[in-house]
Structure 1
Amino acid sequence: MTRRTRTVVVAAAAAVVLAGGGAAALGLDDRSGSAPAPDRPPATTQVRRETLARSVEIDGELGYGDPVPFTSKATGTLTWLPPAGRVVKRGGTMLRADNRPVVLLYGILPLYRSLSAGSEGPDVAQFERNLRSLGYDEFTADDEYTGRTAEAVRRWQKKLGLPETGVVDSTWATVANGPVRIAELRSRPGAAASGDVLTYTGAATVVTADVDADAAGWAASGVKVRVTLPDGKKVSGRVTYVGTRAEPKDDGGDPTVPVTISLDGSPGRLREGPVEVTYRGEERKNVLTVPVAALLALAEGGYGLEVVDADGTRYLPVEVGMFADGRVEVRASGLREGLTVGIPA
């Protein structure tokens, strides 16, 4: 799907362009705001009190994220593979080689060495936490692989139908950072058990988006967003990953960075499809606002409004604040909610 980024923000500079292109510069000798206007404006609006917020909207894709290959180090022949779409949890089987399971464990450290009695280190602590979570607790879960750990492993291996060695290695165990969902099978039973036999993703649905690199300043890990799902349902989410490398679009457009967003709630029945992500940034609460088009550029600098009342019209100098969504915060003595102001042609 072609993704696009729409920034719903009117920068302060936009007011200058708008005023310069659509309104004449006015000279005000009476800065108190009593100078009369010669004619009534062609259109009017009212000053509103509201909350202004800068927001960014991007198109994204609901799914499971980009699949990654699972490289099996098992020996022998593949005798079973899980079907695509299956979720494998801790202690579950990723494949079977010579009819023996390769088991999934949770963590961030891969099984880069064999673990046996006498082994020490953070990978030992990670493994022992997994073993305790699987119901084996006859040992202390720390960074030392003791004889009691080895005995618990032998009991686990017996249950799995593996040789009862008390040794853990990557031929029959593997590590991922949580439950995984099988994405694609790249091999079949009867083939060699080693190599890239399948791909997988995380088990939870996420939103992925390619954000224009020059408009991705809002995206940071932990930033909260609102996601509109394919069925129109809205759920909250938060950014979990922002790429550090900008890539050109396939059509040669401006470069983008990948962003991944996790959902705080279930997406419901639909688990894949296009979504819209909205980031709500800076807010100004309970402020007076007018459409940006109501601003007039003053010859002596700054901006003003053409106030319309029963006595006619007058020009009122104002201070401007935040611009957002086609409106602008305005401040001035005598300015109030409901006041009628002109919109120049």
Structure 2
Amino acid sequence: MNDDRPRQGTATAVGLTRLSRRWLVFLLAITAVLSAGVGLLAGRVFDQSEIIRPENSMAEIPVYATVENRTVDDRLTYSGVIKAGPAVPIQIDVEGQEPMVVRQTLKAGDTLEWGDLAGVVSGKPYFVLPAPLPLYRDLARGDEGDDVLALQRALMQIGYLSHESGHLDGATMEAASSFFASEGFTLSSGRIPSGQIQQVEPGATPESPETGDSISPAVSIPFRQLIGLPVARATIVSALGIGQKVTDQSPLATVQTQENFVEFVADVEQAGSLRVGQDVTVRIAEKQVPGRITEVGPFTDAGNGRRAGNPVTVEPTATADLALLTPNLSVTVAGQGSTAQALAVPLSGIRQDAEGTYVLSRRGGDGDSGDQAMRVPITVLRSGGGFAAVSGELSQGDEVRIS
């Protein structure tokens, strides 16, 4: 009995092992069948045509832009800056006296003109006359020379003399005396006594203090008190007040002899197309200011924050627009060209081949019919701002392919 038990246990174990193998084979078969079924079902559900293949993912997608009627500005533009006109100091020579300002009616922003009184320093009047004024000596009756001629021409320009000769005659002395008397002074710079100041019109001769007396031969015209001004009208930038001293560093006044202006730098090629008198447009903030080129300077090398090129000066054509020229303000200058409206397409839509210039166009509203673009020959009229004004068989609302 004892010998049969081990044999029975061994037989039972072998049977179980064979049974387990059968179930394992069966399960594997079932799994294979299910996998095949799932694959077949997936193949039917998902259309293979919808799978994005690598070659399809690289296909170009056409992009279109609408033909529109718009302004195409083909003018060249330049970046410029507003600059202040040059300032000139009014320096005086007080002949060693204490240079104290005792009368001053000028203030910043005022206009100084030929013949005006620039100020009274240490009791002496200082006038501005047309430059050049090459005076180097006090002038008395009978003097001759180029300095006399220059003084006569200056007095003629402000209306106090009617002739020039280069000889300082009685008429010239009378004109100079009348000029000084217009501000209440004599040629000797002595103050006219109160109550004797005459209102003298330009060209008129003041009456002598004593009837029948003429200007003394000893009286001279003080050249140091006559200052040449290069322009007929200048704007006061600054002026010393009463009680202030005149020095080399603090002139009697400083004047701006030229209005503010616009300057831009053009390269060599651009400068070749620019000329003095050419009309331009200056864009100051949101305002368009008509201007005119007044100077095309010589080529200058780069330096001090300035690029190489030809400096070009522009001034407004209307005097009223000068008030808009604030120094150091950046502006844009537009040259000559056309700004008319026309049918326009983006520059990226312009194509060219051996047959000419064309666009690929489709009628507006055909966006759902696929890429049905057709070749349409065109002529480019002008371009600017990323668009081209064109002519051809195009209509507003059509679409042109840009990619």
Q: TM-score, normalised by structure 1?
A: 0.66
Percent identical pairs in the alignment equals 15
Instruction: Give the secondary structure class of the aligned counterpart of 1:283.
Output: coil
Distance 1:218 1:123, change over 3 A: farther
Task: Give the match for residue 4 of structure 1.
Answer: none
Q: Who is 2:123 aligned against? A: 99
**Quick check: which one's helix share is greater?**
2
* Conserved? CA contact 1:73–1:170, under 8 Å: yes
Residue of structure 1 in register with 2:176 after alignment = 153
Number of aligned residue pairs = 295
Larger RCO, structure (CA 8 Å, separation 6 or more): 1
Alignment of 1:1-345 (within 5 A): 41-46=62-67, 48=69, 52-61=73-82, 64-73=84-93, 75-76=95-96, 77-80=98-101, 82-107=106-131, 109-112=132-135, 123=150, 126-132=153-159, 136=160, 139-141=161-163, 146-160=169-183, 161-163=185-187, 165=219, 167=221, 169=223, 171-183=225-237, 189-191=244-246, 198-202=253-257, 204=259, 206-214=260-268, 215-216=270-271, 220-229=275-284, 232-251=286-305, 253-254=307-308, 257=311, 259-262=313-316, 264-267=318-321, 272-273=326-327, 274-283=329-338, 285=340, 288-298=343-353, 300=354, 302-309=356-363, 312-332=372-392, 335-338=393-396, 340-345=398-403
Shift of 1:314: 1.2
- Structure 2: unaligned runs, 5 residues or longer: 1-59, 189-218
Bigger strand fraction = 1
| Contact 1:53–1:324 (Cα < 8 Å) also in 2 | yes
Aligned residues: CA RMSD = 4.1
Residue of structure 1 in register with 2:202 after alignment: none
- The 8 Å contact of residues 350 and 359 in structure 2, kept in 1 or not, is answered as yes
2:343/2:396 contact within 8 Å kept: no
Counterparts in 2 of 1:221 and 1:243: CA distance versus 1, 3 Å: same
CA distance in 1, matches of 2:163, 2:346: 64
Partner of 1:78, secondary structure, is coil
**SS of 1:72's equivalent?**
coil
Displacement of 1:307 after TM fit?
Answer: 2.0
Q: CA deviation at 1:295?
A: 0.3
Change (3 A) 1:252 1:148: closer
Change over 3 Å in CA distance of 1:344–1:236 after alignment to 2: closer
Q: 1:71-91 deviations in whole A, cap 9, x for unaligned?
A: 435534422275554432222
* Aligned mates of 1:74, 1:242 — CA distance in 2: 41
Could you state the TM-score of these two structures normalised by the residue count of structure 2? 0.58
* Structure 1 residues 260 and 125, CA gap change in structure 2 (3 angstroms): farther
Partner secondary structure for residue 277 of structure 2: coil
Q: Secondary structure at the match of 2:333?
A: strand
Give the deviation of 1:41 after TM superposition: 4.0
AA in 1 matched with 2:294: T
Show the counterpart of 2:216.
none
The CA deviation at 1:58 is 2.4
Q: Say whether the 8 Å CA contact 1:48–1:337 is kept in structure 2.
A: no
Take 1:245 and 1:126, find their aligned partners in 2: how far apart are those partners? 37
SS at match of 2:172: helix
- State the AA in 2 paired with 1:87: T
- Is the 8 Å Cα contact of residues 61 and 272 (structure 1) preserved in structure 2? yes
- The 3 A distance-change label for structure 1 pair 85 and 152 is same
Q: Deviations over 1:151-171 (max 9, x none)?
A: 111222234424254647354
